[in-house]
């Protein structure tokens, strides 16, 4: 995924040549995409459990921002995502499957500073605040409804993120997320118990491929 992000950035640098529109009073109308997929092995010692894990996730988020000063925009986005996390247990016998399907809804506020070379390619970075609500349905051992359950939760996240940006034309902009530093407070609600968890994380060119395209309204 790191190589893919770098390749996308390189193609954009080579192919296009245009002037960016990041002046005070300009506006951006955009649409972002987030995609992630993975697989691996599952091993648990006591008692012994062996299996494989697969996961996929996709999200889309329309966005709007307004340049309150040259190279500085204030914006917001809303989004919807859906993901599947499945574990196939090979041991102990007989084999079984656990499948979790999660839907989430997000709202984000952000402030971004643009650092551009020749007014067309560069980095945008700044603080953001994200609220997310999600609900999950888990199906264990298909055919036995007593093993199924649901849970929901809320995430509040604050941090600093960075994007690589490029303008292929006067009115069109493209961006790929490079990563960031963020704090997350998570609350989970289930039929068995409620829990709260807080984490601090730093990511750079991770396995999440986050792309966005936007249309410039202004000068």
Q: Convert the pLDDT of each residue in 11-45 to its tens digit.
A: 343 333 344 588 999 999 999 988 888 887 766 66
Phi-psi region at 45: left, alpha or beta (left = phi > 0; alpha = psi -120 to 50):
alpha
The DSSP result for 108-138, as a single string, is EEEEEEEEEETTTEEEEEEEEEEEEEEEEEE
pLDDT tens-place string over residues 120-150: 899 999 999 999 999 988 887 766 666 677 8
Arithmetic mean of pLDDT over the chain? 83
Distance from the Cα of residue 93 to its chain's centroid? 37
State how far the Cα of 31 lies from the Cα of 23, in Å rounded to an integer: 20
E strands, 20-171, are 27-44, 49-69, 72-91, 96-117, 121-140, 149-166
pTM equals 0.77
State how far the Cα of 151 lies from the Cα of 136, in Å rounded to an integer: 5
Q: Where are the domains of the chain?
A: 2-207
Q: Residue 48's pLDDT is what?
A: 65
Q: Residue 143's pLDDT is what?
A: 61
Tell me what the mean pLDDT of segment 177-181 comes to. 92
Does the pLDDT at position 2 exceed 50?
Answer: no
Structure tokens at 148: 């199924």
Other Cβ atoms closer than 10 A to 187? 14
Does the pLDDT at position 193 exceed 60?
Answer: yes
Under the banding of pLDDT at 50, 70 and 90, the label for residue 5 is very low
Question: Which of 157, 161, 153, 51 has the alpha carbon at shortest distance from 112?
Answer: 161
Q: Residue 148's pLDDT is what?
A: 76
Q: Residue 6's pLDDT is what?
A: 40
Instruction: Identify which has the larger pLDDT, 98 or 160.
Output: 160
State how far the Cα of 63 lies from the Cα of 80, in Å rounded to an integer: 12
Under the banding of pLDDT at 50, 70 and 90, the label for residue 9 is very low
Under the banding of pLDDT at 50, 70 and 90, the label for residue 52 is confident
Tell me what the mean pLDDT of segment 84-104 comes to. 79
Q: Residue 50's pLDDT is what?
A: 73
What percentage of the chain carries pLDDT values higher than 70?
80
């Amino acid at each position: 995924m790191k190589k893919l992000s770098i390749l996308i950035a390189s193609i954009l640098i080579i192919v296009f040549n245009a002037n960016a529109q990041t002046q005070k009073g300009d506006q951006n109308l955009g649409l972002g995409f987030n995609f992630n997929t993975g697989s691996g092995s599952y091993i648990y010692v006591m008692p012994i459990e062996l299996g494989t894990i697969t996961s996929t996730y996709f999200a889309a988020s329309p966005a709007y921002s307004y340049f309150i000063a040259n190279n500085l925009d204030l914006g917001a986005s809303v989004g919807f995502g859906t993901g599947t996390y499945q574990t196939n247990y090979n041991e102990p016998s007989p084999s079984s499957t656990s499948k979790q399907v999660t839907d989430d809804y997000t709202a984000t506020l952000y402030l971004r500073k643009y650092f551009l070379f020749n007014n067309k390619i560069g980095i945008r970075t700044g603080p953001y605040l994200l609220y997310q609500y999600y609900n999950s349905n888990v199906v264990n051992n298909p055919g036995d409804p007593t093993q199924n359950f649901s849970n929901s939760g809320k995430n509040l996240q604050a941090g600093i993120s960075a994007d690589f940006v490029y303008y292929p034309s006067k009115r069109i902009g493209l961006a790929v997320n490079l990563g960031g530093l963020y704090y997350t407070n998570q609350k989970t609600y289930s039929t068995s118990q409620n829990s709260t968890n807080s984490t601090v994380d730093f990511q750079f060119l991770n396995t999440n491929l986050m792309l966005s395209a936007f249309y410039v309204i202004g000068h």
